[in-house]
Homo-oligomer: A and B are copies of this chain.
Amino acid sequence: MRDITDNPSIEADVVIVGAGFAGITAAREISRAGKTVAVLEARSRIGGRSLSHPIGDGKIVEFGCEHIGRRGAVADEMADAVGISSYKQYDRGYKLTDQHDKLVRWKGQIPRANPITLADYFQAAMRLERMRREVPEETPWDAPHARRWDSETLSSWMRRNMLTRGGRTLMSLLTEAGFAAPATEISLLHILNYSNGLGGYRAVTKVTGGSLERRLVGGSQGLVHRLAENIEEQIFLGAVVRRIEQFRDRVRLTGPGFDAVGRRVVITVPVPLAARIEYLPALPGYRDQLTQRLPAGSVIKYLSVYDEPFWRKEELSGTALSHVGPVQAVMDGSPPDGSPGVLTAFVTGPNARKLARLPGAARRDAVVGALTRIFGPRAGRPFELFEKDWMAEEYTRGCYHGCTPPGLLTEYGAALRNPIGRIHWAGSETVPIEYGSMSGAIDSGRRVATEILDLEAYSQMNGRTV
């Protein structure tokens, strides 16, 4: 990988903005097809929302994305293909729910609760599951009831379709932990669309057979690095793209200290950040208005490191949900060999927004306090506590992914991937399957590569510049 300051003038067939899964996959595929590429990355690292932080001994903790889904998911197959192994998310033993008055132990996918609450939760989940089957994967906006389902939040749907406060509270908590945004801000249609991309509503919060099943040995970011092999010389770090100009037969990207020219450009950065680039000519209204409407979720991730995963000995899986907060969900984030022990704590949605505004010591106390309440005094003495606030990251500005409000999919969905002249769009929010995940990002990189290679082949076939 090279520093942009040493390479102020770049030329390639295709210039790619962003070196996360989408950008690196696109670069890899286009490069393999014999075209030249240049990847411009604002940060001094590649990986985007994947960031595996070394903690010595070749071990890492995941500051960013970590679950690649079940066997056979796009990211899992890709990892296999390049020789990176995966391991199962640890979830043996009891899970815990931290309630205001007590700690509840349970097994299975859904927390133990009173039968009425559970019955209510399950009837609603089944209803969502039936509804999502009516939503076309590639074009959710074509579902028979798309407009109706996109006219409200999951929250208002729950109010009409669930009978108990307990059931609604449970679904709200699971949604918030799963989307890093509250049910009050997410379109019902998006919930169905998202479930669809994972193969079902239940898969959203499921370990075995669901989106939380597998993790990568060596960390998610390791897969990005592996995919970047052979194109490392084409990756330029520290390149903040500020302006994209389109001409008849090429594009020009500029930023502080550099200039890059290509036949086409792929933008893989999150949708709200794509708006922060200046375009010449200016983008059409519908594309610009899209960028105003797909905000990133809100999450701070904590990695609490112990000499061993002590909870396992107590027959605890490390998985917990909390109704008390500020932590809403905890999972075992230990390396494959279980050493050291790592608890990954997620502070999401409104809790994340509130916590981020407290001073560092208060944040730490609140999180360690929650872990202690749930896992006992040993959890209160981590030998290291890492914090990653994705909302504060200038080149991300929120995780896990775009939080789709009512109206977005039906009104602007198609704009997510329709090219504008020589500008093509990728990124994990532009896909029909596994929206917002590593698989989604990889898939989008492949899709955009094909899109461009086809156009270029056509242009050559016709002996002209398209």
User: How does the 8 Å CB contact mask read for A133-158 relative to B, with 1 for contact and 0 for none?
Assistant: 00000000000000100111101110
| Residues from chain B with Cβ under 8 Å of A160 in the complex | 156, 159-160
- What is the CA–CA distance of A298 and B276 in the complex, to the nearest angstrom? 20
Neighbouring B residues of A406 by C-beta, 8 Å: 153, 155, 184-185, 405-406
Q: Is A18 an interface residue (CB 8 A)?
A: no
Q: Given A295-B293, A405-B406, check contact A288 B153 (CB 8 Å).
A: no
Q: Is the CB of A411 within 8 A of B353?
A: yes
Query: Smallest distance from the beta carbon of A221 to chain B beta carbons, Å?
Result: 22
Write the chain B residue with the least CB distance to A183.
B151
User: In the bound complex, what is the Cα–Cα distance between A251 and B289 (angstroms)?
Assistant: 30
Is chain A's interface secondary structure helix, strand, loop, or mixed overall?
Answer: loop
A9 within 8 A of B: no
A279: nearest chain-B partner, CB-CB: B394
Q: Are B391 and A288 in contact (CB under 8 A)?
A: yes
A151 touches which of B155, B286, B295 (Cβ 8 Å): B155
Number of copies: 2
Which among A157, A160, A185, A294 has the greatest number of chain B C-beta atoms within 10 A? Answer: A185
Contact between chains at B397 and A150 (CB < 8 Å)? no
Is A103 on the interface with B (CB-CB < 8 A)? no
A289-B397 CB under 8 A given contacts A182-B407, A407-B184, A407-B185: yes
CB pair A184–B289 under 8 Å, yes or no, is no
Closest 9 CB pairs of A and B: A285-B391, A292-B295, A152-B156, A151-B184, A156-B156, A185-B407, A272-B292, A282-B394, A285-B392
Can you list 24 A-B contacts (CB < 8 A)?
A151-B153, A151-B155, A151-B182, A151-B183, A152-B153, A152-B156, A153-B153, A156-B156, A160-B160, A184-B407, A185-B406, A242-B242, A272-B292, A285-B353, A285-B391, A286-B353, A286-B356, A288-B391, A289-B295, A289-B353, A289-B398, A292-B292, A405-B405, A405-B407
A positions within 8 Å CB-CB of B:
147, 150-153, 155-157, 159-160, 182-185, 242, 272, 275-276, 278, 282, 284-286, 288-289, 291-296, 298, 350, 353, 356-357, 389, 391-392, 394, 397-398, 405-407, 411-412
